[in-house]
């Protein structure tokens, strides 16, 4: 029986062409994350906050990313005032200012009345003496 011998010559292995499914699988596995957190403040007053995350990844990949960069819970780490807190602070400040003004005006009136009353008493004593 003759044996057939196949010779394998040098062959070139071409990389398998990546289809769309392979690309999507790689992106979901590795993840593509565009993460932006921008805060615009003027004299300590927060004017604008932009917190944007564009994520193309599997849930596991995103959760690993968020945990690694401490982005799971932004609100609890934020110490800035929001609009309601800022308005409340302004109202409290305005109320204190108005109260202080009323008290100062009352003090001036009391001093004025007491000062005139003392002058009248002195004048009356001087006339009767």
Q: Which domain holds residue 67?
A: 19-80
Q: Are residues 47 and 73 in the same domain?
A: yes
Determine, yes or no, domain membership for 1: no
Q: Of the segments 42-51, 82-91, 100-109, 110-119, which one has the largest average pLDDT value?
A: 100-109
Selected residue with higher pLDDT from 78 and 106: 106
**22-26, 88-92, 119-123: segment of lowest average pLDDT:** 119-123
Encode pLDDT of 66-75 as tens digits: 888 777 765 5
Q: Are residues 43 and 90 in the same domain?
A: no
Q: Are residues 68 and 23 in the same domain?
A: yes
The three-point CA angle 14-19-20 to 5° equals 155
Q: Among all chains, which residue has been given the structure tokens 């394998």? A: 8
Q: Are residues 89 and 36 in the same domain?
A: no
Global pTM reads 0.29
Determine, yes or no, domain membership for 66: yes
Determine, yes or no, domain membership for 110: yes
Mean pLDDT (the chain) is 74
CA end-to-end distance (rounded Å), the chain: 160
Q: Are residues 96 and 118 in the same domain?
A: yes
Helix (H, G, I), strand (E, B) or coil at 80: coil
């Amino acid at each position: 029986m003759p044996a057939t011998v196949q010779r394998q010559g040098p062959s070139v292995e071409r990389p398998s062409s990546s289809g769309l499914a392979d690309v999507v699988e790689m992106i979901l596995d590795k993840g593509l994350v565009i993460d932006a957190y921008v805060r615009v403040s003027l004299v300590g007053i927060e004017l604008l906050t932009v917190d944007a995350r564009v994520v193309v990844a599997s849930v596991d990949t995103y959760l690993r990313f968020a945990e690694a960069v401490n982005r799971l819970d932004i609100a609890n780490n934020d110490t800035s005032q929001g609009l309601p807190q800022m308005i409340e602070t302004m109202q409290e400040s305005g109320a204190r200012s108005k109260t202080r003004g009323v008290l100062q005006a009352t003090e001036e009136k009391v001093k004025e009345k007491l000062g005139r009353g003392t002058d009248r008493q002195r004048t009356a004593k001087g006339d009767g003496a």
